[in-house]
Amino acid sequence: MQELYRLSENLKRLRLQYGFTQSYVAQQIGVKYASYHAYEAGITLPTLEHFILLAKLYDVPLDDLVE
């Protein structure tokens, strides 16, 4: 589950780099705050649709979210 750990770290790093709140990111990708919080906490994975939306929000390739 190393990928899940990297994903959660990368999501938090990107969010802070852009100055976004968890609530803002959740709203932008169409999920509840608790769902997005779970992505950053490494509790659950986003759906493919949400992976794509996150990559677009941060203007990064999908690979950058998990590497």
Q: Give the number of C-alpha atoms closer than 13 A to the C-alpha of residue 24, restricted to the C-beta side.
A: 11
Residue 37 CB contacts under 8 Å (≥ 6 apart), including other chains: 22, 26
Residue bearing tokens 């919080």: 37
Alpha-carbon gap, residue 67 to 29, rounded angstroms? 21
Per the prediction, the chain carries an average pLDDT of 92
Structural domains of the chain, with CATH: 2-60 (1.10.260.40)
Please state the pTM of the whole predicted model.
Answer: 0.90
| pLDDT digit string, tens, across residues 27-36 | 999 999 999 9
pLDDT band at 13 (very low <50, low <70, confident <90, very high): very high
Among 65, 27, 61, 59, CA closest to 45: 65
